[in-house]
């Protein structure tokens, strides 16, 4: 199964998912209002490469990272 990591202030435990593409991952999270807010403003990386295509194929050994915006100072 692919592993989903939620980075920074999202404060979620990593989870394992059995999906074929990122569109299916989005469907898994559709009923979670708080997470939906994060997903609207976050970037997504698959195996440390930023992606924007929801049809991106996901393999069983892939790592998906949800990357919220950050600011430094």
The domain defined by 2-67 carries CATH number 3.10.20.30? yes
C-beta separation of 42 from 69 below 8 A: yes
Instruction: Establish how many alpha carbons lie within 13 A of residue 39's alpha carbon, considering only the half-sphere containing its beta carbon.
Output: 20
pTM, rounded to two decimals: 0.90
For residue 50, count CB atoms less than 10 angstroms from its CB and return exposed for 0-12, middle for 13-18, buried for 19 or more: exposed
Query: Hey, where are the domains in the chain?
Result: 2-67
Residue 70: pLDDT band with limits 50, 70, 90 = confident
pLDDT digits (tens, 9 = 90+) for 14-61: 999 999 999 999 999 999 999 999 999 999 999 999 999 999 999 999
User: What CA–CA distance (Å, rounded) separates 58 from 17?
Assistant: 10
């Amino acid at each position: 199964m692919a592993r989903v990591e939620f980075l920074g202030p999202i404060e979620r435990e990593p989870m394992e998912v059995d999906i074929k593409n990122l569109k299916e991952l989005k469907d898994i999270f559709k009923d979670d209002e708080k997470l939906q807010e994060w997903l609207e403003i976050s970037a997504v990386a698959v195996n440390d490469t930023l992606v924007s295509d929801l049809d991106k194929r996901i393999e069983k050994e892939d790592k998906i990272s949800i990357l919220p915006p950050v600011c430094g100072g």
